[in-house]
Structure 1
């Protein structure tokens, strides 16, 4: 329910977010950014809709084994300047699906559009019942802040997208 509501909110804003990313970064083609946003909030979500990510996810009656999944903890999300909004949408949605909070370090050249995308997903998720701090981000981007986030002892896993300088 939470992921579906957050996905619909991103879907409703996919064009606005694509334009924001295009204007802020000066990179790429607006229509391509809109398509990537659609892919992140429609195709990916529809593909994982019936995938169990928490609790009993598999039972083998022959061996008697039961596979149980649980959240890993705080996710660090690194996003690029080339496809900032679709990456923020995708990483926020998969973090919500797996019940892990995410803290983003957006590329400085795409800070505003990335935060815009993350805020739309976060606000819809909270309205649907997710915890208040389920999606967060560094508000003053820098390589130092990104490095500190990636190396923080409270980070359980890193989802990094970007060039060598960023990741």
Structure 2
């Protein structure tokens, strides 16, 4: 049992920042991302023996993360705001990519996307998952991932007004 716990601690320690970044980019809320990552890690600990035997542990954990985020969004209390007024959105939450100047505009563009499109972009391009792994993590077909990706990229281009991304801009 000691070896299994050590393996779990090593796995989580190596991937904690990446999991938090992924969760934040999927939901756009640093506090919710913390909660979802904590729930994922807890579920991972409980099921570590089974998960550690999976062919692709990272893909399995990403799927767990997506499911925990969906579960969190389904809870009715997640929609309740107990404030007199809405606070100003966080301008620069702590992420591993603070040095990227375009981060804020990218995060804002992702926030405009529906959850499925945002999730597919985060998993495909920021987590560098394959088409098959993304489909498995999201519990959908590869064709769905392709169409969601195309729609999401078009929406991001429109929000960012970036023509270079589509190949139509100056070279």
TM-score normalised by structure 1 residue count: 0.26
Of Structure 1 and Structure 2, the greater strand share is in 1
Of Structure 1 and Structure 2, the greater helix share is in 2
Highest RCO, 1 vs 2 (Cα 8 Å, sep ≥ 6): 1
